[in-house]
């Protein structure tokens, strides 16, 4: 639904607003907090590129306390949470306070967790500023931080009071981050919407004029899945497509690489491998596998996987919190736009899929 050019999507316990005029709605949302304390969590990039518009559009935020952390997944940790909890306590934040998370998925995931736990929970609002956080982290109420080298191990489900998406924030995002988010859009299309896949594949939605359509389509797909299964007992597992292998590659890269893969870059590799598995084990045709592989391979830089690290990747997959009974569970495609969850896959086939990806560079 769009009123005054603002798209409004109702989630389980909250609402998402999207559009160029979105800050007019935010002003309404801020009214109950104006007599209390408002905090804005940023990193150095959103401080530079995103805070100015936010403050310009919302007078109520002129007295807000700004909490700045260093950007990057390596800072999505308890140590940083500790510092932010401490800052909130030093500034005497109380139950009437509001935390606004202005940034990518690192800021919204960690800020959501901090707000959900500080004094047993204070209100928070998310203003996602990367493509990934606008189309994916914006929906579903997952908050959390990385722990002991594993992604998102500690966290809670809790929805923000509202999510405000201003697509123009993407103007300052660098290309690598844009593509990282685009991987999640490809995933949404592959698991649920063949028409969306065709549009993404043909480049129709890559132009800035079409960002709003892209973000809205992805949000609707994810939101419909989450509404059916908020706690990931069943259908929500569809969203893990590309993530069983992708998360392992991402976790490994985070610890070992000087310039680690971005989330979406790892998921892109995971989607190629898991499409290969889908072709071997499910009904995905060889021609669909080729289409998916060619499309993803043409968008993302090749990242050689060292076969001496495969055993570590398998261990990481086994440790993934989404597994049950220590089996490695996958979401597999039966065709473009359709997927099934809870598919058990042998280690042999997983290794084959990693080799399939590695061999692409030599074709
Ligand atoms: N909660 C969920 O459902 C969910 C879903 C998907 C991903 N995630 C999490 O999201 C995180 C990744 O999010 P991300 O890709 O947004 O990464 P990120 O938060 O690290 O942001 C990427 C980079 O872009 C910069 N940036 C942010 N907005 C900008 C802007 N408008 N202009 C210029 N630079 C900007 C940031 O400072 C950072 O350097 C991961 O930790 C992942 O686990 C969560
Ligand atoms: Zn993801």
- The predicted-structure confidence for 262-306, as pLDDT tens digits, reads as follows 999 999 999 999 999 999 999 999 999 999 999 999 999 999 999
Q: How far is the CA of 61 from the centre of ligand 2 (A)?
A: 31
Q: How far is the CA of 267 from the centre of ligand 1 (A)?
A: 14
Classify burial at 202, counting beta carbons within 10 Å of its beta carbon; exposed 0-12, middle 13-18, buried 19 or more: exposed
Q: What is the pLDDT of residue 2?
A: 58
Please list every protein residue whose CB sits less than 6 Å from any atom of ligand 1: 43, 45-46, 49-50, 71-73, 76, 103-107, 109, 129-130, 132-133, 136-137, 140, 142, 151-152, 169, 172-173, 177, 180, 263
Nearest CA-CA partner of 39 in 140, 131, 107: 107
Whether 60 has a pLDDT exceeding 60, the answer reads yes
Together in a domain, 12 and 150? yes
Using CA positions, which residue lies closest to atom 4 of ligand 1? 137
Question: To the nearest whole number, what is the mean pLDDT of the chain?
Answer: 94
**123, 140, 172: which is the final residue of a domain?**
172
Mutation to probe ligand 1, out of 69, 137, 144, 153 (largest number of atoms < 8 A from CB): 137
Phi, psi angle pair for 295, to nearest 5°: -65, -50
Q: Give 184-216 pLDDT, tens digit per residue.
A: 999 999 999 999 999 999 988 788 889 999 999
Ligand 1 atom at minimum distance from 140 CA: 3
Q: How far is the CA of 184 from the centre of ligand 2 (A)?
A: 6
Measured CA angle at 205 (ends 202, 208), to 5 deg: 135
Whether 1 has a pLDDT exceeding 60, the answer reads no
Domain count, the chain: 2
Together in a domain, 295 and 179? yes
Q: Which domain holds residue 18?
A: 2-172
Q: How far is the CA of 347 from the centre of ligand 1 (A)?
A: 31
Average pLDDT, integer, range 40-48: 98
Together in a domain, 167 and 242? no
Strand partners, 38: 98
Which of the ligands is closest to the CA of residue 241?
2
pTM: 0.94
Together in a domain, 263 and 206? yes
Together in a domain, 189 and 224? yes
CA 330 to CA 343: how far, in whole Å? 5
Together in a domain, 336 and 193? yes
Q: The domain that contains 18 carries what CATH number?
A: 3.40.50.1970
Together in a domain, 160 and 223? no
């Amino acid at each position: 639904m769009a009123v005054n050019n603002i798209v409004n999507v109702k989630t389980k316990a909250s609402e998402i607003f999207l559009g160029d005029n979105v800050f007019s709605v935010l002003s309404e949302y801020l009214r109950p907090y104006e007599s209390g304390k408002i905090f804005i969590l940023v990193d150095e990039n959103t401080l530079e590129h995103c805070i100015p518009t936010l403050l310009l559009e919302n007078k109520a935020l002129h007295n807000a306390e700004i909490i700045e952390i260093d950007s990057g997944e390596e800072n999505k940790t308890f140590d940083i949470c500790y510092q932010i909890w401490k800052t909130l306590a030093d500034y005497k934040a109380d139950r009437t306070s509001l935390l606004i998370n202005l940034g990518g998925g690192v800021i919204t995931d960690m800020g959501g967790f901090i707000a959900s736990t500080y004094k047993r929970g204070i209100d928070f609002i998310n203003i996602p500023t990367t493509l990934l956080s606008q189309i994916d982290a914006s929906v579903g109420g997952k908050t959390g931080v990385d722990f002991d080298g594993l992604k998102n191990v500690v966290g809670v489900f809790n929805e923000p009071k509202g999510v405000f998406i201003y697509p123009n924030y993407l103007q300052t995002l660098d290309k690598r981050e844009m593509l990282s988010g685009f991987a999640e859009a490809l995933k949404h299309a592959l698991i649920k919407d063949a028409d969306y896949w065709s549009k993404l594949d043909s480049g129709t939605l890559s132009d800035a004029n079409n960002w709003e359509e892209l973000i809205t389509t992805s949000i609707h797909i994810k939101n419909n899945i989450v509404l059916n299964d908020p706690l990931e007992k069943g259908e929500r597992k569809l969203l893990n497509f590309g993530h069983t292998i992708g998360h392992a590659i991402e976790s490994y890269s985070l610890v070992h690489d000087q310039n680690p893969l971005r989330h979406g870059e790892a998921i892109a590799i995971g989607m190629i491998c898991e499409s290969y598995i889908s072709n071997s084990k499910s009904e995905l045709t060889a021609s669909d596998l080729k289409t998916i592989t060619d499309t993803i391979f043409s968008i993302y830089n090749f990242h050689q996987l060292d076969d001496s690290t495969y055993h570590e990747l398998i261990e990481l997959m086994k440790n993934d919190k989404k597994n049950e009974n220590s089996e490695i569970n996958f979401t597999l495609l039966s065709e473009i736009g359709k997927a099934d969850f809870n598919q058990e896959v042998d280690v042999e086939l997983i290794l084959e899929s990693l080799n399939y990806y590695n061999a692409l560079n030599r074709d």
